[in-house]
Structures are given as structure tokens and as C-alpha cells.
Amino acid sequence: MLTMRLPIGRWRANEVARDPILPRYRTPFIKKHNQKGLDDMSVASGSPTRIISLSTIPSRFPLIHKTLDCLLAQSARVDEIWLVIPRHYRRFPDYDGSLPDVPKGIRIVQTDEDLGPATKILAAAEMLRGEDCSILFCDDDQRYHPTWAEDLFAAHDPAKRRAVAMFGIMVKRVLGKDTPRTYRNPYGAPPRRTISLLDMRYRFERMKQQVRYKRLYPRVAKPHRVHFARGGYVDLLHGFGGVVVRPDYFTEADKTIPDHIRPVDDIWLSGVLAIRDIPIYVPGGIVRPSHHAADKTDPLSQTVSHGLDRDEANIEGIKYFQDTYNIWK
């Protein structure tokens, strides 16, 4: 296993899709590369540029279109969708450098350094730092409801300097009885979960499936559910549901991730936000995504790294921030 830290290089963008802007987008802004290798950006309306960013791994290249198609079908104004791919993977040393086929409207962005699952946001933040921009980062193994991006962007007010996540949990959920008794989230009450029987939108959509297929249990994917009925603050974001941030929430130092917690990017990114006093807000009423086949392809949740399984790495990640930065205590 490669344990030495790779040299830090400048992020470079590689436009692979023939047309990186969807025709239906209202504010295309790619003009030319500036001195930093970034694109000059301008949004006619004066509102922040909106980027959706995700990363993937070679074994999921044949399946990535399932998520990309969902992102292209979003109802929100989105200026670009970035698929971030390192030139070399730590987990996949035999990677030959080939790139996946992507639909029109997707821009492949290649990076010189593999930062694990956090690559999807740290790469984008590095390139967009200093820009008036909101970044929605997400996972490559999910199907997102058409209103997902619109709802998350609408809940994110750049002036409030807070991250907005579709899903998140409290530190107590990970540490259990080892959670410090005196610890409380300093920003407010946690979100309140939806009572399944009262999720009338889900019930109506499920009934439509049953009528259409004339079965009580039709063999199709169930409709998306609303996970939280009321918004609130969490300690730990969950990237699979999508998270909206600003580029200046992150710095160059955030790329120095301890190897033993590199696979648990949710813990790392949550800790980075916490030490900068940036709260994580989970709004209510947002439809939860669903998994597709890529979820079973080389999942990090089943990976043992540096002798730690996923649950153990989560605990070690929290302890790292407790001991190093005196948070979550």
C-alpha cells in the first residue's frame, strides 16, 4: 500500500465533453483559461455561480452515467457539473489513465493529487477560491430527485456562512456512550425526522406505482422519501445527500489529511468546518436520494484501511479533532 504523501500539484481542468454547458442553462460562463488555469466566470443575473461537483473511481466508470443523468435533469439553474478524476489513484495503482464516457453537459476535471473521497470538493474549492460561487458536492452512487439541487441551493444563504447538507448526524450517533456528557451542538437544535406514515408525498407516489403495475409490491424502485420534516443543525455532514458550501470554507491545509482517516471524508470535512466555526444546517422537506448499482462497486464502507474498518475510522477521525482542535467535547 502506498503510504507516502503524493506531491501537491496545481489543479488543472481538462475539458473532455464536447460542450461543457447544457443548452438549457441560462447563464453559460466559460470564456477562457486565466493564469491560474481556471475559467473566467460571470453570471448575468449577478447571483453566485453554481457548480455541482463529484468524483468517482475507475471501477465505477461504466455506472457513473446513472448519477450524471440525474444531475443533468435537475430543475435548478446549474452553471456547470464537474466530474473530478485524479490522474493517479492510491486505491487503484493499476489505473491506466483512461477517462469515462460522459454525457453532453458534464465537464471532466483532472487533478494531480488523489485526496480520497474528499477530492470532489477540495479540488473544486482549490480552483474556485476567490470566486463568487456556491458548490454542491455529492456522491457518484446516488439517484437524485429533480428538485434536489434547487432545494439545497435555495436553503443556502452565502451571507450566513454556513454549509447546507441534505443529511447529517450528531457526534453521539458515532461515539455512543463515549460522547462527552457536556457536549451540545452550539448552533441550535437538531433536525426532526419525518414520521414515515405521515409522508403523504411518498404515500401518493407509491400508490401511483401500485395502480400502474397492478401490484401491491411492484418490482420497481420505491419513490424518494423526505427524511427530515423540520430543519436543524448537525455535527457531521453526510456527503451522499449533497452539501452546499463556498470555496473559501476550505484552505490549502485541508489537503493534508491523516492517512488513517482519509477514507472517511464526511468526518474530515465536518471537522474542517467546525474548527472554522462554520455550522452545518440540514433543511427540512428535501427529498432523499436513492442508491444505484455503483453503491455495491468497491464501496469504502466495506474497506479496511490502516487496520480500521469504516466505523473504527469514523471514531478515530472524531478523536483526532477532539485531541488536536478541542472540538466536539
- Is domain 49-191+231-325 classified as CATH 3.90.550.10? yes
Closest CA to 134 of 118, 156, 155: 156
Please report the pLDDT score of residue 19 as a whole number. 31
**Residue 203: predicted pLDDT:** 72
Kindly report, residue by residue over 305-326, the tens digit of the pLDDT.
888 999 999 999 999 999 999 9
pLDDT at 251: 96
Between the CA of residue 292 and those of 60, 67, 73, 202, 312, what are the distances in Å?
A: 11, 8, 16, 19, 26
Tens of pLDDT, residues 26-69 = 333 322 223 333 343 434 446 789 999 999 999 999 999 999 99
Rounded-to-5 percentages of helix, strand, coil across the chain:
35, 15, 50
Q: In whole numbers, what is the pLDDT of the chain averaged over residues?
A: 84
The residues facing 323 across adjacent strands are none
Q: What is the mean pLDDT of residues 129-155?
A: 96
| Span 200-246, pLDDT tens digits | 777 777 788 788 888 888 877 777 777 788 999 999 999 999 999 99
SS3 80: strand
The residue type at 247: P
User: Can you give the pLDDT at residue 197?
Assistant: 66
Torsion region of 105: left, alpha or beta (phi above 0 gives left; psi -120 to 50 gives alpha)? left
- Taking the alpha carbons of 216, 222, 228, 233 in that order, is the dihedral positive or negative? positive
3-state secondary structure of 169: strand
| Beta-sheet pairing, 49-55 with 133-137 | parallel
Distance CA 317, CA 313 (A): 6
Please report the pLDDT score of residue 38 as a whole number.
38
Contact between 294 and 140 (Cβ < 8 Å): yes
Percent over 70 (pLDDT), the chain = 84
Question: What percentage of residues in the chain have a pLDDT greater than 90?
Answer: 66
Residue (of 241, 296, 292, 290) closest to 65 by Cα position: 292
| Residue 186 scores a pLDDT above 90 | yes
Nearest to 237 by CA among 216, 267, 211, 262: 267
